Amino acid sequence: MANSNAVSDKKPFFGSAEEVSYHANSFLELYLSRPLLRACEALGYTKPTPIQAACIPLALAGRDICGSAITGSGKTAAFALPTLERLHFRPKNRPATRVLILTPTRELAVQVHSMIEKLAQFMIDIRCCLVVGGLSLKTQEAALRSKPDIVVATPGRMIDHLRNSLSIDLDELAVLILDEADRLLELGFSAEIRELVRLCPKRRQTMLFSATMTEEVDELIKLSLNKPLRLSADPSTKRPATLTEEVVRIRRMRERNQEAVLLALCSRAFTSKVIIFSGTKQAAHRLKILFGLAGLKAAELHGNLTQAQRLDALELFRKQQVDFLIATDVAARVR
């Protein structure tokens, strides 16, 4: 039985792991505090997803967790809710950074930070700090020195602060969360992750989530987790139940102008909440111009933009002020 992290010698941050239920029909059955239940209600959450029903009770018991979770499975709330629940009962008279969440990209870090703020909207004393490249180092240093309860970070910028600014220490860290571990490793963060794991207290809870379980991810699990429980987000399905998949075949000989075909599809069939992936930054920018000329509201997201511009593009799309987000995979590789 895995013991939990300790933030002091007198009283552990988590209780001991006990028998837990994997089947919950409501968030009320997961023994969350009233502020979190109110937040779930405000966000329209009615029934826990499979990964949430499995993960939350075990995380509350302090167990290390290795979760196989795909996009749309409710993974962020699965680790954020139990973490916030435990922070609700933290020692209020001793500010400390007790939770570190590492993500592979700035954009994902922004999303996780936003979700945590929504889930903690009725917990006025919880503070969450975003630490990513492209934003002011000085502003981040000041925020870290105030000892926020939760830090959501990309590995490169987090290492920068630990090595250079000396604005944060991990002495009282109780929870380490590695989100999208496969992408963390794909993007070359292996050395940074290993260093951060070494800097974290040994008596901590670690939760790792990954869409795929590669040999490299398995090595990271062995390095960072203690007797983890392995969970899967509804293994009977490979994609979210609400996702509809369609394939449109474009025959190169008969439809040579693929941009024109794409514009036609977006004008007639797929008209809102559409993400279009482009192979290059130049092609993405060209498509954005073409969509504008065709009267279609679009934003672009790629590595030629500043961090502020990328965040603006995501916000425009999230608020549905544009119908199309034209992005490259390269944009996700910038720290």
Q: Supply the DSSP string of 35-102, one letter for each residue.
A: HHHHHHHHTT--S--HHHHHHHHHHHTT--EEEE--TTS-HHHHHHHHHHHHHTTS-TTS----EEEE
* Residue finishing a domain among 232, 266, 283: 232
Asked whether residue 244 is domain-assigned, the answer is no
pLDDT score of 195 = 92
Contacts of 330 (CB under 8 A, 6+ apart): 280, 281, 302, 303
User: Cβ(184)–Cβ(201) under 8 Å?
Assistant: no
Mean pLDDT check: name the lowest of 103-107, 231-235, 236-240: 236-240
Is it the case that residue 153 has pLDDT exceeding 70?
yes
Please give the Cα distance from 179 to 102 (Å, whole number): 6
For residues 101-115, give the mean pLDDT: 93
The closest of 52, 180, 200, 211 to 119, measured between CA atoms, is 52
Burial of 326 (0-12, 13-18, 19+ CB in 10 A): buried
Q: Is 168 exposed, middle or buried (0-12, 13-18, 19+ CB in 10 A)?
A: buried
Q: Report if residue 276 sits inside a domain.
A: yes
Residue 42: is its pLDDT beyond 90?
yes
Tens digit of pLDDT for each residue in 277-308?
887 888 889 999 999 999 999 999 887 887 77
Considering the entire predicted model, what is its pTM? 0.69
Is the pLDDT higher at 327 or at 25?
327
Q: How many domains does the chain have?
A: 2
Question: 322 pLDDT exceeds 80?
Answer: yes
State yes or no: pLDDT of 143 exceeds 50. Answer: yes
Residue 84 has pLDDT above 80, yes or no: yes
Sheet-wide strand order for 274-278: 274-278, 324-328, 298-301
Task: Give the residue, 312 or 333, on which the prediction is more confident.
Answer: 312
Q: 34: closest CA among 127, 123, 150? A: 123
pLDDT at 200 over 70: yes
- pLDDT at residue 130 in the model: 95
275 phi and psi angles, rounded to 5 deg: -105, 125
The region, left, alpha or beta by phi > 0 then psi within -120 to 50, assigned to residue 241 is alpha
Q: Could you tell me if 145 and 55 lie in one domain?
A: yes
Indicate the SS3 state at residue 183: helix
Average pLDDT of the segment spanning 102-124? 93
Which pair of structure tokens corresponds to residue 1? 């039985």
* Helical pair 106-119 and 307-318, crossing angle rounded to 10 deg: 50
Domain range holding 78?
27-232
Whether 149 contacts 128, CB under 8 Å: yes
Q: Are residues 270 and 224 in the same domain?
A: no
Residues 227, 263, single domain; the answer is no
What is the CA 155 to chain-centroid distance, rounded?
13
20 found inside a domain: no
In a domain, 5, yes or no: no
Looking at residue 11, its pLDDT comes to 41
Identify whether residues 72 and 214 lie together within a single domain: yes
Q: Is residue 239 part of a domain?
A: no
- Cα radius of gyration (the chain): 21
Strand partners, 207: 65, 177
pLDDT of residue 9: 40
Mean pLDDT over 242-270 rounds to 77
- Span of 164-173, 182-191, 227-236, 303-312 with lowest mean pLDDT: 227-236
Residue 50 pLDDT exceeds 70: yes
pLDDT-above-90 percentage for the chain: 45
Domain shared by 60 and 176, yes or no: yes
Is residue 253 one of the residues assigned to a domain?
no
Query: In this structure, what are the phi and psi dihedrals at residue 306, rounded to the nearest 5 degrees?
Result: -75, 165
Same domain for 302 and 225: no
Residue 286 lies in a domain: yes
Q: Is the pLDDT of residue 64 over 70?
A: yes
Do 160 and 79 fall into the same domain?
Answer: yes
Same domain, 160 and 283: no
Q: Which residues neighbour 85 within 8 Å (Cβ) at sequence distance 6 or greater?
A: 32, 33, 36, 60
| Predicted local confidence at residue 103, as pLDDT | 95
Same domain as 329, residue 184: no
Query: What's the chain's average pLDDT?
Result: 83
pLDDT mean over 40-47 = 91
Same domain for 223 and 265?
no
**Of the residues 232, 250, 269, which one is the last residue of a structural domain?**
232
Residue-level length of the chain: 335
Q: Look at residue 242 and tell me if it is in a domain.
A: no
pLDDT of residue 17: 36
State the residue for tokens 């007790």. 98
Q: Is 62 exposed, middle or buried (0-12, 13-18, 19+ CB in 10 A)?
A: buried
Residues 49 and 101 in one domain: yes
Over residues 135-157, the mean pLDDT reads: 92
pLDDT of 40 > 60? The answer is yes
CATH number assigned to the domain comprising residue 309: 3.40.50.300
Q: Are residues 177 and 326 both part of a single domain?
A: no
Looking at the chain, list the stretches that DSSP marks H as alpha helix, in order from N- to C-terminal side: 34-42, 50-60, 75-87, 106-119, 137-145, 155-160, 181-186, 190-199, 215-224, 258-268, 281-293, 307-318
